[in-house]
Chains A and B, each alone.
Chain A
Amino acid sequence: MGGLVAIGAALAVGLAAIGPGIGQGIAASKALEGMARQPEAAGMLRTNMILSFAFMESLSIYGLLIAFLLFAKI
């Protein structure tokens, strides 16, 4: 039983990292493109980019929390 719980915990955090990884990559690429086109707007773009990262990061953190909860049960 402990084996399945461990696999569950690993899958939880592993799969939860895929979506935000792709999402943050797309956001960063668009932000960098914008900064390259118009360097005067770099400060505003950077702030909004960091903000968007925090929202996407929280989805991955939910998976991490489930992994912690399961980890306590192995």
Chain B
Amino acid sequence: MIETLHSIGISNGMMTSTVITIALCVVGIIAGRRLQVVPSGFQNFAEWAIGGLYQFFEGIMGTALCKKYFSLIATLFIYILFSNYVGLLPWAGHIPGVAAPTSSVNCTLAMAIIVFVGMNYVGIRAHHGIGYYKHLMKPFAFLLPLMLIEDLVKPMSLTLRLYGNVYGEETVTESFFELVPLGLPVIMQALSVLMGLIQALVFSLLASIYFTEAGTLEEEHL
């Protein structure tokens, strides 16, 4: 069955991504059933985790923006976190059908485009129209090419940072495995655990910072 999916063009990363999405939705539904006012058990853990994330992003985005856009930022964080960790499962990449979704540039590019479109949407909404793009001429009008490039490089850097980290970790782990099969890849995998968390945090943090920059009006900066 996996071969027929490959022949249509569905890659390993896409299949794993679907499984991750369904699993996260199931976990969310289970955490949200039979809510109690004083939480206990799994609901307690879920409230602690999401509450901690909300406080963290509220410190960066401010209360109004955080209320509107927290779901997008937190979804990006949780999805990228689990995608990075799928690559660490035993035999990941060698079983047909299991591969970290973020190890493919297509996945990270899609998420970066979502962040870019979201950033423009937040800006246009906050400035009530196309006046948002006046910020490209802000310090001096002749800096327009520079500001344009800075704006366009944002999604590219998001893409390449996440893709490079995850794909690089995978490749280095494989090379270590070919050198010394026992013990050496564990060092790289331990590093992957730390770097996976950091990259997920950096992606969502940068997304929230871009939203904040786009969404605050000029008078509020000072």
Contact = CB atoms under 8 A, between A and B. Distances in A.
B and A form one assembly: yes
Interface size, B (range): 10 to 19
Interface stretch (B79-87, B158-166, B214-222): B158-166
Given A54-B198, A54-B199, A68-B171, A61 B161 contact: yes
A61 B198 contact: no
B46 interface: no
Interface residues of A, number: 12
Q: In this complex, which of B163, B168, B199 has the most chain A Cβ atoms within 10 angstroms of its Cβ?
A: B168
A42 interface: no
Given A54-B198, A61-B160, A64-B164, 12 more contacts: A51-B201, A57-B161, A58-B160, A58-B161, A58-B164, A58-B165, A62-B164, A65-B160, A65-B163, A65-B164, A65-B168, A68-B168
Contacts, number: 34
A64 B168 contact: yes
27 contacts: A51-B201, A51-B202, A53-B198, A54-B161, A54-B198, A54-B201, A54-B202, A55-B202, A57-B161, A58-B157, A58-B165, A61-B160, A61-B161, A61-B164, A61-B165, A61-B168, A62-B160, A62-B164, A64-B164, A64-B168, A65-B160, A65-B163, A65-B164, A65-B168, A68-B167, A68-B168, A68-B171
